[in-house]
Amino acid sequence: MSALEARNLHKRFGGLEVISNLNLTVPPGQRRAVIGPNGAGKTTFINLVTGWLSPTSGNVLVDGHAVAGRPEKVTRSGIARSFQRNMLLEDLTVVENLRVACQAFHPCRRVFWRSKRAFATVIEKAERAAERMHLTDILEVPAKHLSYGQKRQLEVALALCAEPKILLMDEPAAGTSPQERARLIDLINGLPRDITILLVEHDMDVVFATCDLITVLSYGKVLATGTRREIQDDPTVMEAYLGHRHAGD
Amino acid sequence: MQVFLTQILNGLQLSMLVYLLAAGLTLIFGLMNILNLAHGAFFTLGAYCGVVVGSLTGSFWLALLVGPLLPFLVGVGLQSMVLQPLAERGRSTHLDLALLTFGLLFATAGAVEWLFGSAFLSIPTPVALSGHVNLLGISYPVYRLFIIGVGLAVAVGLTFVFDRTLLGATLRAGVDNRAMVTALGVNINALFAIVFGLGAALAGLAGVIAAPLTSVYSQMGITIVVETFVVVVVGGLGNLRGSFYASLIVGMTNAMSQAYLPEVEMFAIYALLIGVMIVRPQGLFRNVERVG
Amino acid sequence: MSDEVTIARTSTTTREAITLATEVRRATLVLAASAIVGALALPWLSASYATTLAIEIMIAGIFASGINLLVGATGLVSLGQGMFLGLGGYGIGIGTTVLGLPLWLSVPGTLVVVAIMAAGIGAVCTRTRGVEFLLITLAFSQMFFGSAIKLRLTNGSDGMSGIPRPDLTFLGLNGDNPVVFYYYVLVVTVVAVAAMWRIVESPFGSVLAAIRESERRASAMGYAVSSYKVGAFIIAAVTCAVAGILQSQYTYFINPDSMSWQLSGEGVLMVIIGGTTTVVGPLVGAAVFVLAKQGLSILTTEYMMFFGIFFMLVVAFFRNGVVEALKSALWSKP
C-alpha cells in the first residue's frame, strides 16, 4: 500500500490545464523529490494533495483512502506541508508560533477560560520542536524580525509540529545560506524513516543529498521517475530544462 | 396577468436603478479593491444637485446632465487626493480604506443634513416623460420606462467599454499589474481617478433619475445603499456582469414581495442574501476560482 | 517605527533595557492603581455629571470590548455589532415590559437568545471575509434595525420604555440612585474586561490570534477555522448585548437608534482609537470617544459631520490606535 498516490490527476483553470493526467506513487518511508522547470505544476500538485485545490478529475489517495478535502482535515489525517512563501504568524513570537502549531491536536485547544500557559505539555512540545530546528536561541523573537533563513526554518518546524506521516515541503531551501542548507539536509536525513517525504526543490544539492527517488514534472505531466543517475542521463529531462537544442548534446 | 406584467416592469425599473449604483460600486471595487461605503453619498449628492439645477433652470434634462457632475468631481478628488496617496504610502490596507469611506459616510450624511435640513424636496417629472403609455395591454408610466432604458443603455455601454475597447483592457491590465502598465507609459493613477469619478457619477445619475419618483431627503442614500450592497455581494464583488444579473434578482424580489407579500417585503432581500451566503459565499456569478 | 530600530533597541545593553522596562512597568502600575482608586472613589469625589459620564464610558467600553474580540483578536472587522447591543436592550425590554418576567429571568434569557442568534448569523457571515464580511454584517444590522422600526412588538420608532434597573433592595440599595447604578455598572465592567482578558490569554484566544495573523496557516495547522470564528462571533455578540442591557437600564428606554449603523461605526472607531492589541484599549478608546463627543456637542450641533471627519483622520493616521502611537513616541526617546 503506497503512502501517497495520484491517479489520473487533472487540474484545469479555465482554459489552462495545469496538471495533465498525472500518475505518481510514493511508497511509505520514501524520500521523493519532485523537480521540474518553473510552471511545471509542482506547487499546484502539492495544493491538490493538501486540499487547497480540488482536482478537476482524478484522485489523490493517502494510505489507499481519498484525500480528506479541506486543508484542516488533511492535516488531521497525517499530512503536513511547508509553504513556498513563508506563511508565519508574523506578530507572534517563534515559541508562540510553535506552541499554536503543537496545540492543534491537543484537546485544550477549545478551552477559553484558562490561560494557555497552564498547559505545559503543549509548551514542552513546542520547545522540543524548536530544539530540533535550532531555533532555541530566538524563541522570544517575533517572527517578523527573523532573517529569511530563520523564517524558512520556522516554516518547516511548524509543519513538523503536526507530527505528520507524510511531509510535503515546497522549496524549503529557497533563499537560504549554505549553512542553513546543510542544516536542512541534516534535518531531512534525521527524520524518522516512518515519515514519507515529498520534496519540491530546485536546489539539486539538497535533492541529491536527501532523496531516494526523483520525479521530474514538465507541463503538468510526469516526465520521468528514477534515481539520480537515471534522471541525469535522461535526454528528455535535459530537454525539458534546457530546451530542444541541448537535448542531443 | 396585467397586474403581473406591471409588477415585472416595476421590478425591472427598481433593478435598473439599483444597477446604476451597483455598477459604480463594483467597478470601483473590482478595479481598485476599494469598497466605497460612502457610495450612497454620491447618490444623495447627485439628487440634491439635480434639485438645485432643476429649480434654477426649470429643466429636467439640464438637471440630468449637470447632476452627476458634482459627484464625478468629488469622486475624482477623493480618489486622487485621499485614497490614492494613502494606498501608496502602504499604510492602509483595503479594509482601512473601506473604513475610511465609512467615516466619509458619516461626514456626508451630516453635511447634507446641515446644508439642506430634513425637508423633503423633489424634481418634477419632465413633460416629455410624463403620462402613461399603452404597452402589452397595460397602461404604464413613461418615466419608469425611461429609467429602464437608461439602465439598459448604461449596462450595454459599460460592457462594451470594458470588454471591447483598449481603455477597458488597459484598466483591467492596470488592476492586474499596476507597475507594468505605468511602465508602459499609462498614467494609471489618472485613469483610476477617472473611473472612481465615473462610478460616483453613475450613482449621482441614479440620484437625479430617482428624484421625480421618490422624494429627495438627507437619508435617501442609506436605504438604497444597503440594497446595493446586497446586489454587489450576491453578484460577486467586482463582477460587473454579476451585478447586472443580481440587480435583476433583487429588483424583482423587491417588486414581487411589495405586491404580493407586503409583510415580508423587507426581509425578502435579506433572506435572499442569507440564502446566497449559505450556498455560494463568493457570489452567484463569480466564475474565478479562489486558489487556496 | 522601523524594524531595524526595534531590533537595535533589543540588542542594546541588557542593563539599559532592563531599566527602561522596569520604568515602564512602574509607570503602568502607578497608572493602573490611580485608575482603580479613581474609579472606586469617583462618585464621592465629584459632581454627578462626572458619574453619569463615567457610566456612559463604561457601557461604551463593554460594547467596544466585544467588538475588539472580533476586530482586534480575530481580525474580523464587523460593522454590524450595533445589532447585538440593540438585541440586548430590546431583549430585556420585551422580557420585562411585554412578557412581564423579572430581571433575573430576562437578563439570562436575553443573553441565551442572543447567543443562539449570533451562532446562526455568525455561521452565515463567517463564510465571507474582509470587505464582504464588512458588508454582510452591515446588511444584517440594517435588517434588525428595520425590524425594530416596523414591528409592533418593539413599539416601532417610539421604542420601549419602562425598562427596570436591577432590584438591589436585598442589599438595601436603590438601583435608581445614580451612584448605586454607577457601582453596578463598574462591577459588570470589571467582570467583562476580566473575562475578555482570560479569553484572549486562553488556548481558544491563541487560535483566534493565529487566525488573525494567517488564516491559511491556521487551517494548515489543522484548526477548523470557521468554528473558532463563530465562537468569537458569539462571545462578541453576548458582550455587546450586555452593553445593550446596561444601556437600556441606564436610560430606562430603548429605541431603534440603538442599533443603527452609526452606533456600529462609533464602536469600531472606539476600538481603533484605543488600539486593538490590549484588553484595556477599547476602554481607553471609549473614554476618548465619549469625552470628545461631549466636547463636540457643546461646540456644534453638526456632530455627525465632524465625527465623520474625525473618524477618517483616525483611520488614516492612527490606524494602530492612539495608544500604539503614544507608545512609539515614548520609545523613540534616545
Tens digits of residue pLDDT in A141-181: 999 899 888 888 899 999 999 999 999 999 988 888 888 88
Q: Is C143 on the interface with B (CB under 8 A)?
A: yes
Q: Of B134 and B265, which is predicted with more confidence?
A: B134
Q: What's the confidence (pLDDT) of residue C87?
A: 94
What domains are there in chain A, each with its CATH number? 4-246 (3.40.50.300)
All chains having 3 or more CB pairs closer than 8 angstroms to chain A: B, C
Residue of chain B with shortest Cα separation from A47: B292
Nearest to C130 among B95, B104, B106 (CB): B95
CB contact under 8 A, A72 and C222: yes
Task: Say whether B16 sits in a helix, a strand or coil.
Answer: helix
Name chain C's partners: 3 or more CB pairs within 8 A. A, B
Confidence check: pLDDT of A241 > 60? yes
CB spacing of B266 vs C79 below 8 angstroms: no
Mean pLDDT of B270-288: 76
Q: How many residues does chain A have?
A: 249
Residues 162-191 of chain B with CB under 8 A from chain C are none
Average pLDDT over residues C115-139: 89
3-state DSSP of C91-124: HHHHHHHHCCCCHHHHHHHHHHHHHHHHHHHHHH
Q: Are C214 and A88 within 8 A, CB to CB?
A: yes
User: Grid coordinates in use for C186?
Assistant: 463598574
Tell me whether residue C92 is in a domain. Answer: yes
Total domain count for chain C?
1
The beta-carbon neighbor of C268 closest among B99, B233, B266 is: B99
In a domain, C6, yes or no: no
Question: Which residue from A72, A89, A161 is facing C219, i.e. has the nearest CB?
Answer: A72
Residue A41, phi-psi category: left (phi > 0), alpha (psi -120 to 50), beta (remainder): left
A106 pLDDT above the threshold of 80: yes
**Which residue from C minimizes the CA distance to B268?**
C143
Chain B contact for A219 (CB, 8 A cutoff): no
Question: What confidence category does residue B28 fall into, taking pLDDT thresholds of 50, 70 and 90?
Answer: confident
Range of the domain at C92: 44-259
Cβ atoms of B144 and B125 closer than 8 Å:
no
Q: What is the mean pLDDT of residues C179-188?
A: 90
Judge: B237–C132 Cβ closer than 8 Å, yes or no.
yes
Q: What are phi and psi of A200, to 5 degrees?
A: -90, 120
CB contact under 8 A, C206 and A80: no
Report the residue of chain B nearest C310, measured CA to CA.
Answer: B103
Residues of chain A with C-beta less than 8 angstroms from the C-beta of B292 = 47, 51-53, 71
- Percentage of chain B beyond pLDDT 90 is 15
Tens digit of each residue's pLDDT (9 = 90 or more) over A172-225:
888 888 888 888 898 889 888 889 999 999 888 899 999 989 999 888 888 888
Q: In angstroms, rounded to a whole number, what is the distance separating the alpha carbons of residues C297 and A233?
A: 82
In this prediction the ipTM stands at 0.87
Q: Which three cell numbers stand for residue C162?
A: 419602562
Which of B255, B211, B205, B248 minimizes the C-alpha distance to B230?
B248
Distance from CA of C157 to the nearest CA of A (A): 39
- What pTM value is reported for the model? 0.86
Comparing alpha-carbon positions, the chain B residue that sits nearest to A51 is B292
Contact (CB<8Å) C309/B103: yes
Report the chain A residue with the minimal C-alpha distance to residue C212.
A89
Most confident of A75-79, B119-123, C50-54, C199-203: C199-203
Residue C247 lies in a domain: yes
Question: How far apart are the C-alpha atoms of A64 and A77, rounded to whole Å?
Answer: 12
Interchain contact, C308 vs B278, CB within 8 Å? no
Query: How many C-beta atoms surround the C-beta of residue A243 within 10 A?
Result: 10
> Longest C-alpha distance within chain C, in Å?
69
**Is residue B110 within 8 Å of C306, Cβ to Cβ?**
yes
Question: Which SS3 state, helix, strand or coil, does residue B93 take?
Answer: coil
C-beta separation of C274 from C322 below 8 A: yes
Residue type, C102: P
Residue B122 or C63, more confident: C63
Taking the C-alpha atoms of residue C125 and residue B78, their distance in angstroms, rounded to an integer, is: 30
